[in-house]
Amino acid sequence: MLSPLNLVDRARSAAARAADHVRSSAQPATSGWSLKGRHDFVTEVDRTAERLIGEILTSGNGGGRIVGEELSPQLALDGLVWVVDPLDGTTNFLHGYPAYAVSIAAVVDGVLQAGVIHHVPQGQVYWTARGAGAWCDDRQIEVSPITAPGQALIGTGFPFKDLSRLDEYQRQFARVAAATAGIRRAGSAALDLADVAAGRFEGFWEQQLSAWDIAAGTLLIREAGGVVTDAEGNDLGIAHGPVVAGNPAIHRWLLETIRDGS
């Protein structure tokens, strides 16, 4: 089995190849947008990027299989599994809004071992291997030292596929907004989690995300000294569901605040 550092090297190569493809692709005309679900688009750019990623990740020594939104969405996690979002922030890409990324995580028998988030427009690469810390290109990153909610900047994701819990989210939003320095929503969960790891956000929450949105960012934050759980405070595995993340102090505060707003 490949070491965590070998896994991250392979993930970086695959993410770079996909990012080059996305960067060189013209924004598809609206006739080329397919709906996967409510307000959730996919294009041939996404599908081709995932195919290019798969060619690198599953070739040669180590092999493994792909779990990803476009090709194989079933969460089977025994052995080596690559959890892939070939274009996190597709709607941003379609509108030319510069917040979209390639996200790849390596999981061995259900345990995160490596992660890469490649910010396509900026060309920055966030990466981590289990026990090796969190990095942006060649610079080590850490979560923010800010512990006072009134000084904290919080990231979030608005409900847009399933609006059945919108009222609950609005209550959470109101409580967080009233007590912090601000809330931001860029539309790419992978980049939001990278911002937590890099100390730009003190915390982040979203009601529902998929494993491929968050797997790489989860390990990145933990290796940067932060905490990632579900909305009940349980350790977040490789699963779909709610996410609460932050430095340890703000994570605790955010968890309590969104519970009170539920």
| Owner of token pair 């979560």 | 143
Per-residue pLDDT tens over the stretch 148-197 = 999 999 999 998 777 788 999 999 999 999 999 999 999 999 999 999 99
For residue 224, what pLDDT is reported? Answer: 98
* DSSP strand pairing (153-156 vs 182-184): parallel
pTM for this model (two decimals): 0.92
One DSSP character per residue, 36-63 reads EETTEEE-HHHHHHHHHHHHHHTSSTT-
CATH: 3.40.50.300, 3.90.550.10, 2.60.40.60, 3.40.190.80. Which one for 149-260? 3.40.190.80
Helix (H, G, I), strand (E, B) or coil at 102: strand
Per-residue pLDDT tens over the stretch 199-218 = 999 999 999 999 999 999 99
- How many angstroms separate the CA atoms of 223 and 225, rounded? 5
Which residues of the chain, if any, have pLDDT below 50? 37-40
Report yes or no: 101 and 89 within 8 Å, Cβ to Cβ.
yes
| Owner of token pair 């707003």 | 261
Domain map of the chain by residue range?
4-141, 149-260
Sequence-ordered list of residues with C-beta below 8 angstroms from that of 255, at least 6 positions apart, any chain = 229, 231, 233, 244
Fold of 4-141: Fructose-1,6-Bisphosphatase; Chain A, domain 1 (3.30.540)
For residue 62, what pLDDT is reported? Answer: 67
For residue 237, what pLDDT is reported? Answer: 83
- How many angstroms separate the CA atoms of 17 and 34, rounded? 23
What distances in angstroms separate CA 202 from CA 15, 72, 118, 227, one per listed residue? Answer: 26, 33, 21, 11
Q: Please give the radius of gyration of the chain, using alpha carbons only, rounded to the nearest integer.
A: 17
